[in-house]
Structure 1
Amino acid sequence: MLAQGILSDLRIVEASNFVAAPLGGLTLAQMGADVIRIDPLGGGLDFSRWPMSNDDVSLFWCGLNKSKRSVALNLGDPEGRELAMSLISAPGEGAGLFVTNFPPRGWLDYDKLKKRRADLIQVTLQGDHKGGSAVDYTVNARVGIPYVTGPVSDDAPVNHVLPAWDVATGHLVATGLLAAERHRSRTGQGQHVKLALEDVALSVMGHLGFIAEAQLGCARGRYGNDLFGAFGRDFACADGRRVIAIGLTLKQWNSLVEATGLAQTIEAIGVQLGLDLAKEGDRFPARRELCAAIGGWIAARSFADVAASFDRAGVCWAPYQTIDELVHTDPACSVENPLFDTVDQSGVGRVLSPRSALRFDAFDARAAGTAPALGEHTEAVLGEVLGIDGAAYGRLHDRGIVHGPW
């Protein structure tokens, strides 16, 4: 068992901001890769992004840059850009790997970098396939999700607070880099891998049937909190606590029927409506009648009684809870779950920090890390990777080309 992680032989340079590209780097770092951030002096566009700690440290930036190293360079100076390009193209069997979501021009231009290292792999994340600007929220608006989210009676778009396309794209950044690195290990060839945030959203919309649905003339409407195409929604218990109960698979549906003891009532609903409620698709048009029966059963019982009945029968369900309740009352979000460690993050305090959600049999899970201070590893990385000694580093520092930790 090796504690350093399954990707400990890889060195990846990252120049990025916001969500998707840093999440790609984080995914790789949590599997053991040495991920080196190139940061501008004073931090990039997202270095002070909300939410913030009481000491004005970005929880957002800290969360997405755990387990990485930070090198702070004056990228407005040709010498600073030269150092950045040298780091990206530096020799090493597991090096020559670069991730960015900045436009691939200037010191980020793939062709320029490739001249320094022929087998370079660069993953460039773009907004759309033409290289235009886009963020999760504009992409989500374009693909139509805000018009199928929200109350049935509402005609206005409803924006989603979870940047789902960023999350999916971040993991594809890591997948794309590893696929290209596998190809290089077999052929010796590097390449420029391009990935567009909008294309990820469009592809998922296709995979999930939304696009074909519209092409066939039955574009998705709004269904509020009802699970489309099956059975599931929110219900209120007698004491006001709310739960979600799902009957997607036949096993889940049978468990819900067993827990509520409503088999005869539900059979009568099926007969009345001429539907076979053992079929997933038939439960959706019967949702109003089914929700009335199951909702009535839940409304007559306390949350504790509903939870006990659901657990005994193996129902697929969950309580609705706030993020505060998740953090302070749910053992899944605590060190009882091996996903989490408690770490001391500079400027933030003692907080829960998740490891990689992947568990490999052949490797110990890498302990959860902290985010670096801006420029914390500048001197060490320039020494290790480029052979810049202390005296040379001091001269670069005095001229404002590099900076140590803030």
Structure 2
Amino acid sequence: MSGDRPLDGLRVVEFASFVAGPSAGMTLAQLGADVIRIDPLGGNADYRRWPVDAGSSDSEGDAAGSSDGEGDATASENSLYWTSLNRGKRSVAVDVRDPAGRELVVALATAPGRDAGIFVDNTVGRPWLAHDELAAKRSDMITVHIEGRADGSSAVDYTVNSEVGVPDLTGPVDGGPVNHVLPAWDLIAGQSATTALLAALHRRERTGRGARIELALADVAAAGVANLGWVTEAAQRGDRERHGNHLYGTFGCDFETADGRVMVVALSGRQWKNLTEATGTTAALAELGESVGADFFTDEGRYSHRAAITDVLRPWFAARTSAQAAEALEAGGVLWGPYRTMRGFADEYRSDPSSAPVLVDVEQPGIGSVISASAPFRVDEEYSGAVPAHDLGADTEQVLGEVLGLSDAELAKLKAAGTI
């Protein structure tokens, strides 16, 4: 991204692991903030979390054999997970069990300056990092603490997702709950943390007041399903039936082609018209609508008779290859998308980078070329670009000298003591 980035000059200290906190810090770094990541010596709990790079596993079969994509990694393995979520941050490695190390962390978090005094964490059982402790050293301190539940107890994405009932809505019509692999609430929590932090910063600029922000993952999930109207629907109507790959409340379904599968959606009357015309089923579907007394130009009409509509459309897709179907659907202005494996998505990007312009190749030290990503938003019509993650502790001496003014002798003493 050319020119000044929106958050150039802002300093954020992050002491967080897994998805929500690190994704918030990554977003701030992509906007230009100097994000200083605090790492315990040897790395935090997520330092070697799967997926790991292919060169790190004993064999391809070792990685593929894990049922959930996670496993115990050895010291030689490089985490694609960790290096992806910590791109563009500076890393300070400190022994946080040592009182001297704790003092360094607190000093970094509360360092003076108009664009400093911002701390993001998801730590548990570290009262020395509590807002009141930090605010005692800097009254306008902004802290963002991410936790499992509002009462401080533990929760993770996959447990809160099952609690709010999303897996019970997911999967085949006949079957039990189906967990999905995307940690959606973690990612939303990360962006919520970023929004709250920037709002608090705006208020501090106007009033000089700091802020204590607490964000519970369980609250993010509960608010998410409530804001979609799903909780009220369940309270009024009872649990919704499972729909498989049908879209709820309107028309959308997957169709097998002669050599693959596509997803087709019609959210509006115009999209419905385009779909029927592109597939040559206008007359047949009009006749079906008349026979059942339904208006397929409405969401209710399409949704209520989704199975019959699908039966009419299915032969058109089955008689065509995916390429032939794609050509006709594109020409007809139909809302659709192909089904790919993740490897297929990667291969498509490799063969045609313009297919996913937000992605970018980055040379990650210790791993090699990785497919990384810019921030998904464009500022002044430009993507942010991407940079590699810094090695664990690579910036310790530079940051402590620059931010805290420690001399070479003081740094050498801390290093000799094993504090850094």
> Into which bin does the TM-score normalised by the smaller protein fall?
over 0.9
Paired amino acid for 2:149? D
Asked if structure 2 preserves the Cα contact closer than 8 Å seen for 1:5 and 1:365, the reply is no
Query: Which residue does the alignment assign to 2:49?
Result: 49
Gaps of 5+ in 2: 57-76
Which of 83, 96, 116 is the equivalent residue of 2:104? Answer: 83
Q: 2:103 aligned with 1:103, yes or no?
A: no
Cα distance between partner residues in 2 of 1:9 and 1:282:
54
Query: Which residue does the alignment assign to 1:378?
Result: 396
Cα distance between partner residues in 2 of 1:248 and 1:332:
31
Paired amino acid for 1:311? E
Q: 2:12 aligned with 1:12, yes or no?
A: yes
Q: 2:419 aligned with 1:398, yes or no?
A: no
Q: Which runs of 4+ in 1 moved over 3 A?
A: 1-4, 330-333, 335-338, 363-366
Q: 2:49 aligned with 1:29, yes or no?
A: no
Q: 2:80 aligned with 1:59, yes or no?
A: yes
Asked if structure 2 preserves the Cα contact closer than 8 Å seen for 1:210 and 1:220, the reply is no
Asked if structure 1 preserves the Cα contact closer than 8 Å seen for 2:9 and 2:33, the reply is yes
Asked if structure 1 preserves the Cα contact closer than 8 Å seen for 2:268 and 2:297, the reply is no
Cα distance between partner residues in 1 of 2:324 and 2:310:
18
Query: Which residue does the alignment assign to 2:180?
Result: 160
Query: Which residue does the alignment assign to 1:244?
Result: 263
Asked if structure 2 preserves the Cα contact closer than 8 Å seen for 1:7 and 1:32, the reply is yes
Query: Which residue does the alignment assign to 2:237?
Result: 217
Cα distance between partner residues in 1 of 2:26 and 2:136:
28
Which of 247, 272, 283 is the equivalent residue of 1:253? Answer: 272
Taking the TM superposition and a 5 Å limit, the aligned residue runs for 1:245-284 are: 245-284=264-303
For residues 81-118 of structure 1, the C-alpha deviation after alignment (integer angstroms, 9 at most, x for no partner) is: 00000000000111001101113742211111101100
| Structure 1 length-normalised TM | 0.95
Cα distance between partner residues in 1 of 2:3 and 2:390:
20
Asked if structure 2 preserves the Cα contact closer than 8 Å seen for 1:327 and 1:334, the reply is no
Cα distance between partner residues in 1 of 2:418 and 2:283:
78
Cα distance between partner residues in 1 of 2:357 and 2:233:
41
Secondary structure (helix, strand or coil) at the match of 2:189 reads: helix
Q: CA deviation at 1:331?
A: 6.5
For residues 130-168 of structure 1, the C-alpha deviation after alignment (integer angstroms, 9 at most, x for no partner) is: 1110000000110011111111111x2211111110111
Q: 2:171 aligned with 1:150, yes or no?
A: yes
Cα distance between partner residues in 2 of 1:87 and 1:159:
40
Q: Percent identity?
A: 44
Cα distance between partner residues in 1 of 2:163 and 2:318:
39
For residues 317-353 of structure 1, the C-alpha deviation after alignment (integer angstroms, 9 at most, x for no partner) is: 0110111111112479736644233211012111222
Which of 350, 367, 378 is the equivalent residue of 2:385? Answer: 367
Query: Which residue does the alignment assign to 2:136?
Result: 115
Cα distance between partner residues in 1 of 2:354 and 2:379:
19
Cα distance between partner residues in 2 of 1:81 and 1:4:
34
Aligned residues: 399
Q: CA deviation at 1:364?
A: 5.3
For residues 285-322 of structure 1, the C-alpha deviation after alignment (integer angstroms, 9 at most, x for no partner) is: 11111001111111111212111100001111011011
CA distance 1:321–1:284, shift in 2 (3 Å): same
Cα distance between partner residues in 2 of 1:316 and 1:157:
28
Q: CA deviation at 1:4?
A: 4.5
Asked if structure 1 preserves the Cα contact closer than 8 Å seen for 2:349 and 2:356, the reply is no
Residues 120-129 or 216-225, more deviating:
216-225
Secondary structure (helix, strand or coil) at the match of 1:193 reads: strand
Query: Which residue does the alignment assign to 1:358?
Result: 377
Cα distance between partner residues in 2 of 1:246 and 1:337:
21
Q: 2:359 aligned with 1:344, yes or no?
A: no
Asked if structure 1 preserves the Cα contact closer than 8 Å seen for 2:14 and 2:37, the reply is yes
CA distance 1:38–1:356, shift in 2 (3 Å): same
Cα distance between partner residues in 2 of 1:333 and 1:226:
30
Paired amino acid for 1:43? G
Cα distance between partner residues in 2 of 1:330 and 1:82:
46
CA distance 1:274–1:364, shift in 2 (3 Å): closer
Paired amino acid for 1:262? T
Asked if structure 2 preserves the Cα contact closer than 8 Å seen for 1:235 and 1:298, the reply is yes
Asked if structure 2 preserves the Cα contact closer than 8 Å seen for 1:226 and 1:232, the reply is yes
Query: Which residue does the alignment assign to 1:70?
Result: 91
Query: Which residue does the alignment assign to 2:310?
Result: 291
For residues 176-222 of structure 1, the C-alpha deviation after alignment (integer angstroms, 9 at most, x for no partner) is: 10000001001000010011101011011111111010111232220
Cα distance between partner residues in 1 of 2:339 and 2:266:
17
Query: Which residue does the alignment assign to 2:65?
Result: none
Asked if structure 1 preserves the Cα contact closer than 8 Å seen for 2:376 and 2:383, the reply is no
Paired amino acid for 1:380? Q
| Structure 2 length-normalised TM | 0.92
Residues 308-317 or 252-261, more deviating:
252-261
Query: Which residue does the alignment assign to 1:196?
Result: 216
Gaps of 5+ in 1: none
Cα distance between partner residues in 1 of 2:102 and 2:349:
47
Cα distance between partner residues in 2 of 1:5 and 1:335:
24
Paired amino acid for 1:268? E
C-alpha RMSD over aligned residues: 1.5
